[in-house]
Amino acid sequence: MTEISAADVAVPVVLRVNGDEYRITAQPRRTLADALRDDCGLTGTHLGCEHGVCGACTVLLDGEPVRSCLLFAVQSQGAEIRTVEGLAGDDGTLHPLQEAFWRHHGLQCGFCTPGFLMLSAGVLETRPDIGDDELREALSSNLCRCTGYQTIVEAVRSVRDAGEA
Amino acid sequence: MSWVGRSIRRVEDPALLCGAGTFVGDIGGAASARFVRSPVASGLVRAVRGPAYTIADLDADEVGNIEAVLHRPDYVRLAQPLLARERVRYVGEPVAVVVGATAAEAEDLAEQVELDIEPLPAAVGLEAALAPGAPLVHPSESESNVMVAGEMATPGLAEALEGAHAIVELEITSGRQAALPLEARGSHAVTERFGGRTTLHASIQAPHMIRTVICDLLGMPEADLRVVAPDVGGAFGQKLPLAREDAVVVWLSRRLGRPVAWIEDRSENLMASWHSREQRYRLRAGFDASAHLEALQADVAANVGAWPCYPITWGVEPLMALAELPGPYTLEHYGVRSRGVASHTCPMSPYRGVSRPVITLALERLMDIAAARLGVDPVEIRRRNLQSDFPHTSPTGLRHDEGTYREAMEQAVSHVDLGAFRARQHAARAAGGPQPGIGICTFSERTGYGTPAFAARAMGVTPGYENVELSMDPSGYVTLRIGASPHGQGLETALSQIVADEVGTDPGRVRVVASDTDRTPYGWGSFASRAMVLAGGATYLAAQKLASQLGSLAAEVLEAAADDIVLADGRATVAGTSVGVEVAELARIAHHHTQRLPAGATPGLSAQAGYDPAGTFSNACHVAEVDVDPDTGGVSMRRFVVVEDAGRLINPMIADGQIRGGVAQGIANALLEEVVYDDDGNILTTSLMDYLPPTVAEIPDIEILHLETVSDATVTGAKGLGEGGTIGAPAAVLNAVNDALAHLGVELNEMPATPERVRAAVRAAAGRSPAGENDRSTQEAPVR
């Protein structure tokens, strides 16, 4: 019989995501990504590697882009979490970054897209005047296998240039 | 105004942008399957202990074996069980499967499973598997590890080589690579409690074909299995073959009577999904005094891993190399032996470009080396050897339709301004430090081929055609159902543009249904740069039929001749007049007032069409500029230019996206990505810290110019281009790296050109010749 350790026992966790409160129970070992996807039903946050390299699971935690696969849900209590589901307006109006990715063909299969959108939102909100080289460096945090990146960079630059983020 | 040729935004995007796509891992509501995989490369399975299902359970249910067949005398035929039976043949091979309520619980259960495996010696990699006395991967079925071997020679080859002015010999090797879709594989099966019908959602490229093979394995009628490819997060060939795991998931859901899902993690994907491109080419080429390539003899070997892939088999890499090695050149004499060699490594599947990235690397290195040996400019040697009379028939019988091989190269060279580059390079030679290099690559990309081409492969099943069904509903909207299965390419958007033009409507009034066996006609899916040609061609033909129906109906309503009806902007009008009727009104009549239809007409508005062409060739020229640091071996990309001719572009934005993404993968194949095993067959690259896909930091902006040669090879004029970026980029990059270090006498013919390999090549050159000139290869015969 497997021993039950404290790490196996689910505990109550309250997550604030996109302004809504989610009261869930989660094992302490449960990652924020799994909690968002499986407990909150927010499956827009994707898992591409689960070891912190690909960035598909990027969300904003108090405004900072983080890998939600490297955080535990219990660590994220009390923080303002933002995911891709919170980008568009309540009336369905796309966020300027979503519009720009669409216009510039910054996505193909779309699996990395939520991570790139949240990364870009976090970067532009904190550094609206970020230079081209620094922006490229910031975007090198995440992986895309389809686009070759050029159109992603063009999309984010266009939002920066318009001062829209 | 035509919709075809316009870069309209993709209809696929809004859901994906909002995180509202449905990938297989998003479905939920299922128990989790976790596979227990072999920790050794070769061994005998003595026992499996713990809460797991094994091959014994599959056998008890009379589940069949996978038989990936080529009907060739030189092909070793195997029956592959869905879980290892008695013997394991690569690290990561599935031996058992557990089911838990959650993924975490399934992982905990898997850890309780004990595999008692007696290790055996393993043959890891090409050389080890070909060595005399090598451990055999399938000792009961074959006396060697050569599982498929093709051989051919044109008459007069030996004489042509004997009489050649110069012989150039060359060995090219490619490391093992992974397609690495960002979404790993996965499947999710639900079996209805009453009736027993199962629905499988899986991250795959060919749902109809996968339904057929799973039903064959499980002994089910196909009507009882619905296969859906929901949003698929990249595939690149890795999701074309049957995944053993997907079939097991269907079996589990039927056996347990509960929904079961398997979501592959990245480590499994790198270790136990499919690998590609571990190949070696030995070329012996004869040139005349004018640098014409007259004769080519090749020996090709591919490490195809431990099992064939269904249905393409492990013949796909070696036999494509055999057939397509002559490339875009007007070569007359050709001989080749090409072998698929099994080893105790992960099985091979097609990966974007299949063999052509390595074929092209071999040919394009050959051209550059020959140019240097014969004192001809690299552009000039290609100019003299590229095809220019069409149709051109290759020594292996491939018919090349009209292309722009020379024109694409001339345009690319003029665009990059070679003169200015050489001046900069000259200055850098004197200054030391990182050295600029430029590399050219010209190639053909065989695309859009149907049944005849696949029939020549003699596979157990013969893919080829695509079917579509098109209908207009009473509101005047059009629904297109396709057998192809797009996964990020933007096919829905492009097809809607074709329909809109033919039916005189707006792409916004076209809905495309794909990737669901319950809702689409049988088709082969999306792979081999075929969907735009095949599904696009069938769509075009069906749309013409629908337009004809609308024309007849409009003629009846407007009391005009059908030939005079013009469909445009949602109206059917009599040519040269303002007399017309809304298409939407015609749609109402066709469904709701059928008494107004011409006598004998079928109620409703629908058409179907199939398309099954012989195939076509796209072509392109790639030019890469790099900086290479001879002291560190580091290579950085400075510039990349593509001149592409894929015939008529349906949506240029989408075409450019395919090219850019392909080039990025090709650059990474050339410089970064390699699956590494140790000598015992332990895989060392099971995370993205070890296997290195590129980030934006490694990929430059890619400049694209288009030529649009419309040949008669396809009904739409469109050729395929999904793989070209990946086919051309490795050779362009390797030629550029060699050009950067040419003054040091470096010759590097191995990809990926990692810093370690670049440094080794620099050291080898220094050891060969301190002056570093002219002695370009230790293997070359002298110029005669």
Higher pLDDT, B711 or B606: B606
Every domain of chain A with CATH number 1.10.150.120 lies at 96-162
DSSP string, B325-370: TTTTB---EEEEEEEEEE-SSPPB---TTTTHHHHHHHHHHHHHHH
pLDDT confidence of B782, banded at 50, 70, 90? very low
**Mean of all residue pLDDT scores within chain B:** 96
Enclosing H/E stretch for B428: helix B418-431
Contact B10 A105 (CB under 8 A): yes
Topology of domain A96-162, CATH = DNA polymerase; domain 1 (1.10.150)
CATH dotted code for A7-86: 3.10.20.30
What residues of chain B lie within 8 A of the CB of A42, using their CB? 19
Would you give the end-to-end CA distance of chain A in angstroms?
Answer: 54
Give the span between the Cα atoms of B34 and B169, in whole angstroms: 49
- For the record, the structure tokens of A165 come out as 């983020």
Note the pLDDT of residue B61. 98
Contact A153 B112 (CB under 8 A): no
B437 close to B737: Cβ distance less than 8 angstroms: yes
A65, A56, A61, A165: which is closest to A114 by C-alpha? A56
Note the pLDDT of residue A3. 63
What residues of chain A lie within 8 A of the CB of B654, using their CB? 105
pLDDT confidence of A164, banded at 50, 70, 90? confident
Contact A143 B695 (CB under 8 A): yes
Q: How long a stretch of residues is chain B? A: 784
B581-640 pLDDT tens trace:
999 999 999 999 999 887 888 899 999 999 999 999 999 999 999 999 999 999 999 999
Q: Determine phi and psi for B605, rounding to 5 degrees.
A: -135, 105
- For the record, the structure tokens of B284 come out as 């012996």
Note the pLDDT of residue B376. 97
Note the pLDDT of residue B346. 98
Give the span between the Cα atoms of A120 and A126, in whole angstroms: 10
Contact A146 B663 (CB under 8 A): no
Chain B residue with CA closest to A83: the answer is B19
Residue with tokens 């070209």: B724
Give me the residue from B17, B104, B231 closest to A102, CB to CB: B17
* DSSP-derived 3-state class of residue B144: coil
Give the span between the Cα atoms of B382 and B189, in whole angstroms: 53
What residues of chain B lie within 8 A of the CB of A148, using their CB? 660-664, 699, 702, 725
B350-448+614-768: which CATH number, 3.40.1010.10, 3.30.70.100, 3.40.50.970, 3.30.365.10? 3.30.365.10
- For the record, the structure tokens of A44 come out as 């827009």
- For the record, the structure tokens of B290 come out as 């004018």
- Best mutation target among B8, B13, B263, B264 (most A Cβ atoms within 10 Å) is B13
B733-778 pLDDT tens trace:
999 999 999 999 999 999 999 999 999 999 999 998 655 444 444 3
Contact A111 B234 (CB under 8 A): yes
Chain A residue with CA closest to B266: the answer is A49
Size of interface A-B (CB pairs under 8 A): 168
Would you give the distance in Å from CA B170 to the centre of its chain?
26
Q: What radius of gyration do chain A's Cα atoms show?
A: 17
* DSSP-derived 3-state class of residue B159: helix
Bridge partners (DSSP) listed for residue B23: B231
**Mean of all residue pLDDT scores within chain A:** 96
Angle, helices B652-671 vs B724-740, to 10°: value is: 50
Burial level of B780, CB count in 10 A (0-12/13-18/19+)? middle
A56, A124, A121: which is closest to A87 by C-alpha? A121
B50-64 pLDDT tens trace:
999 999 999 999 999
Every domain of chain B with CATH number 3.30.365.10 lies at 350-448+614-768, 465-611
Topology of domain B13-120+185-263, CATH = Aldehyde Oxidoreductase; domain 3 (3.90.1170)
Note the pLDDT of residue B601. 82
Chain B residue with CA closest to A117: the answer is B17
Give the span between the Cα atoms of B241 and B672, in whole angstroms: 25
CA distance A78 to chain B (A): 24
A106-116 pLDDT tens trace:
999 999 999 99
Lowest mean pLDDT among B179-183, B454-458, B474-478: B454-458
B430 pLDDT exceeds 50? Answer: yes
Query: Is the CB of residue A25 less than 8 Å away from at least one CB of chain B?
Result: no
Every domain of chain B with CATH number 3.90.1170.50 lies at 13-120+185-263
Note the pLDDT of residue B769. 66
Give the span between the Cα atoms of B623 and B293, in whole angstroms: 22
Give the span between the Cα atoms of B653 and B298, in whole angstroms: 39
Q: On the CB side of B148, how many CA atoms lie within 13 Å of its CA?
A: 30
pTM of the entire predicted model? 0.96
Give me the residue from B18, B183, B702 closest to A48, CB to CB: B183
CATH dotted code for B465-611: 3.30.365.10
Bridge partners (DSSP) listed for residue B574: B565
Every domain of chain A with CATH number 3.10.20.30 lies at 7-86
| Residues A23-53 as b or e (16 or more Cβ within 10 Å = b) | ebebbbebbbbbbbbbbbebbbbbbbbbebb
B556-598 pLDDT tens trace:
999 999 999 999 999 999 999 999 999 999 999 999 999 988 7
Which A residues, 41 through 60, put their C-beta within 8 Å of a C-beta on chain B?
42-51, 53-54, 56
Chain A residue with CA closest to B27: the answer is A43
Give the span between the Cα atoms of B274 and B347, in whole angstroms: 6
Note the pLDDT of residue A2. 56
Chain A residue with CA closest to B657: the answer is A147
Segment B493-514 mean pLDDT: 97
- Best mutation target among A59, A149, A151 (most B Cβ atoms within 10 Å) is A149
Segment B205-231 mean pLDDT: 98
B621 close to B407: Cβ distance less than 8 angstroms: no
CA distance B356 to chain A (A): 19
Residue B2 vs residues B503, B567, B709: alpha-carbon distances, Å: 11, 12, 18
Name the amino acid, one letter, at B365. R
Query: Is the CB of residue A128 less than 8 Å away from at least one CB of chain B?
Result: no
Q: On the CB side of A21, how many CA atoms lie within 13 Å of its CA?
A: 5
Give the span between the Cα atoms of B581 and B715, in whole angstroms: 29
Chain A residue with CA closest to B654: the answer is A105
Give me the residue from B183, B689, B697 closest to A111, CB to CB: B183
Contact B664 A117 (CB under 8 A): no
Contact A88 B18 (CB under 8 A): yes
Query: Is the CB of residue A117 less than 8 Å away from at least one CB of chain B?
Result: yes
A126 contact partners, CB below 8 Å, separation of at least 6: A63, A64
Enclosing H/E stretch for B211: helix B207-218
